[in-house]
Every structure is written in C-alpha cells, then in structure tokens.
Amino acid sequence: MSLVEQVLAQASRTPSAVALVAGDGAELTYGQLRRQVLAVRHGLREHGLRPGDGVLFSVRPSPESLVLAIAVVAAGGCVIFADPGAGPEMFTARMRLARPRWSAAESLLYAASRLAPVRAYARRRGLLLPNLSTLDVARHIRTGRWLPGVPRGALSLDRLLRMPPAEPDSVADPDAPAAVIFTSGTTAHPRAVVHTAGSLSAALGLLRERVPLGPGDVVHTDQLMLGLPTLASGARWSLPPLTGGAALFREQLRQRRATHTYCVPVRLAEVLDAATGPLPSSLRHILLGSAPAPAGVLRRAVAAAGPAEVLSVYAMTEMLPVAIATAADKIAHVAGGATGDLLGEPLPGVQVSVAADGELLLAGPNRSPGYLGEPPTPWLPTGDLARVDEAGRLVLLGRKKDMLIRGSFNLYPGLYEPAVAALPGVAEAAYVGVPDAEHGDERVVLAVVADGPAAAAVLPARLRRDLPGVIDHDALPDDIVVLPRLPRGGRGQKIDRAALRELVAEVVVR
C-alpha cells in the first residue's frame, strides 16, 4: 500500500480525530482531510491531469498545500519541488530537465514573479524570481486569493476543494514517480532525485519502526518526511507557523503537548536558548537531522529532554533514513576517544558498502531509484567517507569534497570536528583551508565558536594545549580563529564552508 493510500485508509478509520493543526491553531480532522484530498484529486482529473504528469510545486507548508500535494500523487501525478528562489537561470535549467505539465504556486508568488514593481522590490531584497506565468505548462493552479499577475485561466485551489469527492478508481503503481526533489548541480547540469511511491513508503515505514507513532501522539514539525508517517499512523501533525522564532516554537511544543519534534541542530540550540529549564514533559522523541549535531548541542538536549529520547538521523534526499543514533551513544563515542561522527547501525534492509577510497555506498528499498534523466546505478555514492566499526555501526569520517591537503597528509574535517567540539569551552568547530601564497599549500584553519563569552578569550591557548591529546599531529591547525557564529545556509543550516573560508581568510591574512 502506497503512503497516500495509507493516509487515506487511516482517515477512514478515524474520521473525527484531529489530523492537522496549522501554525495559527486551526484544526483539520482526518475526515476533512480525506474529503478534501479526494475532492482536489477529482478536480485535477476533471481538468486534465493524467498519470505521470509532473506538477511544479511552489507552495509553502500549510494544511492546504499538504492537501494539494497528496491529491496530486493520489491522481497519479508527480510533485516537483524546485525552489523559485534559486534564481532565474538555475530555475530555467531545472525546468528544462523536469518539463512539468502543471504549475502550482501561491498567488503572491505569481504576482511577485510577473509584475515589474513587485519584481523590483523583490530584487532589492536580494530575491531574483523567475516569471512563473511564462512557463510552458498545460495548466496553472493558484493558492490564496486572486492577485494581479496570476495567469489567465489558473485553477483556484478553493474551487477544487469544493469539487465532489470521488474514491480512487485504481491502486497506485509503486514504481511510478511520486516526487522529484532538486538538490545539487549547476545551471549546465542540474540534478534531481526521483522518488517513487514504493521508495517513499519503504523509507517512512523504516522511520515508523524506529520511532513509534500512533493515535494520541502529536508531532510538531514542518518536515514533510516526518509529517506524512504521522498521518499514516493516526497521530496529529502540528505545523509551526511560517514565521516565528525559537521561543514560539518551544511554547507551541508545550501548548500542543507535542510528543515528537524534529529540528536541525542549529534550530534546537536556539530552542534551548529561548528559555531555561527542561523541555515539555510530554516529549518522548526529539529528532535531529540535516546536519551534524555538535556534542555541545547533544549534551544540552539530553539535559533538557528529561525522559525523552534524543535521536540523530542520518539520511539524504536520495535515501530516507539510513541510520539513527542516540545522543547518548554519540556523546560516548567522542568521550571514549574514537574519531569521526557516530551515525548508528544501518536500519533494517539498508545495505552498506565502502569503496576503495573510503566513500560510503548505499542500497535498499528506501533508496531513490535514481536521478532524473540519468541511468540507474546499483549503489548510491553518498560523497561521505565512512567506516563500519566493530559493532556494525556507521561512523562518518568526512565529506570527500571537504578534504584538505597538507603535504602528503589528507585531512578530512569530519574526522576531527566532533572531537574538537566536545572539548570544554567549545560550542562548535569547523576546519577550512586557506591558500598560503608563500608556501603554495593550504593553511589549515580551525574556526571555533566559544561556549560563552568567558571562554572566548582563553580558548585559542587552551586548544593549543589540549588538541595534541585528542587529534592526530598532522591534523593540528596552523591557525585558530574564534568566531561569534559559523556561517550556514540552506534548509538544513549546514556549515557554508565557502563563506567560512572567505571569513577566516580575512582574519588569517591580516
């Protein structure tokens, strides 16, 4: 049974239970969710959507956007996630590859991408938007009230919601594309991950096995990949508002009696900073992902979580999830003097291989079958360097592309950053290489964020003293730079190493 079929079946069993709570507190029951999905599905079919049609999806998270996305897949379509904010050139290149037949976007985005005054305003704010109305598609869908700039003849989501619901007339093909997600790549060679109904169902089934969900649970997140298994389990999906700080996020955890939540590590640190004391006692699972979690954040999370289990999820767009480690195990791994970042034991069905150069290769039922427009391969090359320890657990050693060369020594930042970040007075740590004009090699710079103002002044001297005892001699940095924060980017708020390199270069050169 596909994920969408699981959600609809669950909605039939518990129609009066609350399925969704919006950022503003508005609620949607399972019965309402099912009726709306079937109504929109019927409307899409009536207006020409056919199995295999790609639908460009440019709608921010909300109950309405969720209904639309599920309805597209229920109708046999494929949701294409391509951020219009990536810039017109990248967006055009991605559309050339994806070739969507439909486009769904907020009315505001259509207006902002078409009307000259609005485009000029967006450009002054650093946002270059493509003109969505000129896309070569068969049909447009708008969400929200009509605004100037919406293409003529665009379907209104409100109108689709008023269509009569109709039961699906066929079982979903598990091998049919259900989602296309653009990730890396350039304007010349954009890259997009294709997930089928089968791969998504397998991925989210693995997550539910490790992190139990069921009626009565409340999952507070804006992450689709955690929200969908929530609905398939009969639990309640609580959506944070589109705008709002960490204090509001923490308060909603309390108000809505959340049992589960998901944060990128930087976000969780902000949530912990927002107030002192323990997190709400209703929490049973706190999931971290999208970026490595520093030991300092893990320790604080464990201290604030009480009986809740703090879990770090290793996953990638191509394969969700791969391994899950407890915060306690990750902390013990570093405290025991082991190098690298503990990822945990591969989940059931996940196959692991390590290439000759140390790159981690993966396979399994939850893996994407491939990239759009590219032939499938038997193994997924992750770009991560890893090893399997004596307990059968994956240990991340770094990213291939982040490798620094120091003479004959290859330095992988991810191999040493967890150990450095676990030292007293260090909140975060990152290695970067800065060109050395005098020697023609790279100067190895360790950028650290101090754990409080008092630690900042003495941190470089303390690290010079303590580092030889925890990392290899060849990995000792040439320079240590203390920064107020590390530059980050993207939805996962990963360290932006290019920006960090520029930032520390200014300090080192001076």
Amino acid letter, 437: A
Residues of the chain with CATH 3.30.300.30: 404-509
User: Domain 243-364+379-400 is in which class?
Assistant: alpha beta
What is the fold, at CATH topology level, of the domain defined by 21-198? Rossmann fold (3.40.50)
- Structure tokens given for 259: 């049992």
**DSSP structure string for 403-466:** -EEETTEEE-HHHHHHHHHTSTTEEEEEEEEEE-TTTSSEEEEEEEEESSHHHHHHHHHHHHHH
Q: How far apart are CA 451 and CA 447, in angstroms?
A: 13
Residues of the chain with CATH 3.40.50.980: 21-198
Residues 6+ apart with CB under 8 A from 47: 139, 155
- Structure tokens given for 398: 């770094």
Q: Reply yes or no on whether the pLDDT at 165 is more than 70.
A: yes
Q: How confident is the model at residue 125 (pLDDT cuts 50, 70, 90)?
A: low
Q: How confident is the model at residue 288 (pLDDT cuts 50, 70, 90)?
A: very high
Average confidence (pLDDT) over 163-170: 82
Is 324 or 224 the better-scoring residue by pLDDT? 324
CA angle 37–42–47, rounded 5-degree value: 125
Q: Reply yes or no on whether the pLDDT at 347 is more than 80.
A: yes
In 3D, which of 42, 13, 49 has the Cα closest to residue 167?
42
Strand order in the sheet with 426-435: 426-435, 442-450, 479-483
In 3D, which of 325, 319, 359, 318 has the Cα closest to residue 343?
325
CA angle 303–307–312, rounded 5-degree value: 70
404-509 is a CATH 3.30.300.30 domain: yes
Model confidence, pTM: 0.82
**DSSP structure string for 74-125:** HTT-EEEE--GGG-HHHHHHHHHHH--SEEEEEHHHHHHHH-HHHHHHHHHT
User: Which 3 state secondary structure label does DSSP give 309?
Assistant: strand
In 3D, which of 399, 265, 395 has the Cα closest to residue 339?
395
pLDDT digits (tens, 9 = 90+) for 452-477: 888 888 898 999 998 988 888 888 89
CA atoms within 13 A on the CB side of 196: 15
pLDDT digits (tens, 9 = 90+) for 356-390: 989 999 999 999 999 999 998 999 999 899 999 99
pLDDT digits (tens, 9 = 90+) for 50-60: 999 999 998 88
- Structure tokens given for 122: 């967006």
Amino acid letter, 192: A
Q: How far apart are CA 230 and CA 253, in angstroms?
A: 16
Amino acid letter, 253: L
Q: Which of 138-142, 398-402, 425-429 has the lowest mean pLDDT?
A: 398-402
Please give the backbone phi and psi of residue 122, each rounded to the nearest 5 degrees, phi first: -60, -40
